[in-house]
Amino acid sequence: MGGFSIWHWLIVLLIVLLVFGTKKLKNIGSDLGGAVKNFKEAMKEENAKLPDAGKTGQTYDAEVKDKHES
């Protein structure tokens, strides 16, 4: 009763396939993959635009103080 067995997951998968159909699930998967790919490309472009401050080996010494409001 504590967790899901493989049979529970198979029944859920069967219900999802019956509700959405394989073609729609395939389209959702390819759309999701394309979104992840575009996100990765955008992150690479943003990293290329940033100055190379972190790559020069410079370190910054800072002190963090707690701010408590009463």
In the chain, domain spans? 22-50
Q: Please give the pLDDT value at position 56.
A: 60
Q: What is the mean pLDDT of each run of 10 residues along the chain (70 residues)?
A: 83 90 86 93 83 63 74
The answer to whether 16 and 25 are in contact (CB under 8 A) is yes
Q: For residues 20 and 8, what is the distance between their CA atoms, to the nearest angstrom?
A: 18
pLDDT of residue 53: 47
Handedness of CA 21, 25, 26, 28 (dihedral sign): positive
DSSP 8-class letter at 70: -
